[in-house]
Structure 1
Amino acid sequence: MTMNTSFKAALFGLAALGLTGTAASADQLADVKAAGKIVTATDMHYAPFDMLTNGTYEGMTKDLFDEVSKELGVEPVYQDIPWTAELPGLEVKKFDIVIAPVTITAERLERYTFTLPIADATVSLVKAAANTEMNKPEDIKGKTVGVQQGTAQFKQLQAYGESLGGVTVKEYGTTDEAYADLAAGRLDAVAGSLPNLTYLVKNRPETFALFEPAQFGEPSYFAWVLRPGEDSASFQKAINDAVLKMTDDGRVKAIQEKWLGTYTELPREVPTK
């Protein structure tokens, strides 16, 4: 009698676990819609994507994500988080998505879920406008070049410097700090994504100039980042569907032209490397 009762209890326990497992299976899109908001993280010191102007958040990222949020029917919550804390914070669920432009790399694709590209991210170089000694990317050999720490551009700069025979790479917490040192003559150049550097030169042509050609890395793209796993699948699809809709109706083009002065057609699928 006792054994039979125990057996029934065990079966009931297994069934309960099964029900609990089903109930616990998460769907991030459903959670976001239930909350009525998307909690984001970005670094608001990465013009033209993310900026604080007189204490107000603005930029290309905000314009794009405002529209995506409208398509999803939720309100965006924007948080200013240092870049080096963003992906770790995403992993421990401090926020729903990282909207700071993150370069898609093979290594990151294994660890995170990426949305469709939102901009070109090909690594490039900028110098002081008065510098006539350096023009081509290979001219940075033996020079000191600044770059934001923890970025794909940092890794590409390191690899490129090694291929040239040596470049001193100086890391910065923000691109603004690197630009300040370049303007003050403490750096020979700064490496970053082409859109960021194009925006910098467009707004401060008396101080900065692009190398010719500016790009030296393999073509790459920026995207937004979600946590890995099936829980994020519907969330990723909803965001991608919104981006494609915005691409087809011209909103992406208008936002790019507003902030970058030009339009770059982007892949309609997430790159695999």
Structure 2
Amino acid sequence: MKKNTVLTVTALAGALFLSGCTKKTETAADSTAAAGQKVLTIGSDMTFPPYEFLDNGKPSGIDVEIMAKMAELDGNYQPEWIDTRWANLIPGLKSQKFDVLFSSMYITKERLAQIDMIPYYKTDISLLVRVDSDLAPKGPNDLCGRTVGAMKGTAFATQVQDISKDRCVAKGKPAITVREFETSPQTTQALLAHAVEIQYDDAAVMTAATKNLPGKVKITSTEQFFPIVGGIGVRKGDTATRKLLEDGLNKIKASGDYSKILAAYGLKEPSAEDIAAVMK
């Protein structure tokens, strides 16, 4: 990944958000469709490195690698990535603008009430601060009284609000000031601009930020927050697409590619117990 990927993605995200449009990304789908292959349209908020982001207009990241390998082993379809903002994902899937949601989406009861989800990775939260900051928050209790940045419309913002209510205010500590931003890179920029003191985000995303911004940001958290399982989204009742994806995941697990991709980014495959806990 390029050293300045986070900054590049931030600019792209801002431009797309202001235009209010979705954007088809550079894929091989158009050229292969003529050869009889099915095109699988994938909705994704491609502002979330290392999971999904645009590198010179080309879809890149963990989810893109997994999907590409699934399509390669199947041989009957090609993914066509459509970059859009987070708030558009579930509505777009339900209205058939996309066949699939592949956007490092955490599995929650609220989402399962709207769409079907196929578990594929496990992660947790990390806290990011500026290198020159005097703060070194280790866990949830260290956020009380601080200004914390999180991505708008995600589980992150809800989790910080819950921490503020249950671990801070309820125990006589000052509340957390939560500031929300459209994308993860925009949140990181707010951190660098001193608009927030701490960024609360996915552990793999924060690790990528430290690599892309060496000497500017650092991870200080050491405690467990909310270990969670991420899933691929499919429309309720779309059993054909669900089976296609489940078969694809089984194939890349058997080939060994799945574990290699996850391990390269410090992620884990969810256990049966992990899956059972979120798929109630």
Alignment TM class, shorter chain as reference: 0.7 to 0.9
Structure 2 portions without partners, runs of 5+: 1-35, 170-174
Task: Select 1:109's aligned residue among 80, 91, 112.
Answer: 112
RMSD over aligned Cα atoms: 1.9
- 2:279 aligned partner, one-letter code: T
Partner of 1:127: 129
Structure 1 stretches of at least 4 aligned residues deviating more than 4 Å after TM superposition: none
SS state at 2:215 partner: coil
Task: Select 1:58's aligned residue among 57, 60, 73.
Answer: 60
Equivalent pairs, count: 234
SS state at 1:222 partner: strand
Q: How far apart are 1:52 and its partner, in Å?
A: 1.3
Instruction: Note the 1:226-245 alignment, pairs <5 A.
Output: 226-229=234-237, 232-245=238-251
- Residue by residue over 1:121-166, the C-alpha shift from the partner in whole angstroms, topping out at 9 and shown as x without a partner, is 4233211122233322222111111111111122111101212221
Partner of 1:168: 177
- Residue by residue over 1:165-209, the C-alpha shift from the partner in whole angstroms, topping out at 9 and shown as x without a partner, is 211111111111100010121111111111111221233241111
Alpha carbons 1:43, 1:82 under 8 Å: kept: yes
Partner of 1:36: 38
**Residue 255 (structure 2) pairs with residue 252 (structure 1):** no
- Residue by residue over 1:15-42, the C-alpha shift from the partner in whole angstroms, topping out at 9 and shown as x without a partner, is xxxxxxxxxxxxxxxxxxx871101111
- Mapped partners of 2:91, 2:72: distance in 1: 27
- Mapped partners of 1:108, 1:178: distance in 2: 23
- Residue by residue over 1:31-90, the C-alpha shift from the partner in whole angstroms, topping out at 9 and shown as x without a partner, is xxx871101111111000111122222111111111122344201111111111111111
Structure 1 portions without partners, runs of 5+: 1-33
Task: Select 1:81's aligned residue among 79, 84, 89.
Answer: 84
- Mapped partners of 1:190, 1:244: distance in 2: 35
Q: How far apart are 1:234 and its partner, in Å?
A: 3.2
- The structure whose Rg is larger is 1
SS state at 1:180 partner: helix
- Mapped partners of 2:138, 2:91: distance in 1: 36
- Mapped partners of 1:215, 1:129: distance in 2: 22
Alpha carbons 1:194, 1:214 under 8 Å: kept: no
- Mapped partners of 2:95, 2:134: distance in 1: 48
Partner of 2:100: 97
- Residue by residue over 1:200-223, the C-alpha shift from the partner in whole angstroms, topping out at 9 and shown as x without a partner, is 123324111112315422x21111
Q: TM-score, normalised by structure 2?
A: 0.77
Partner of 1:201: 210
- Mapped partners of 2:240, 2:58: distance in 1: 31
Partner of 2:6: none
Partner of 1:266: 270
- 2:186 aligned partner, one-letter code: E
Partner of 1:150: 153
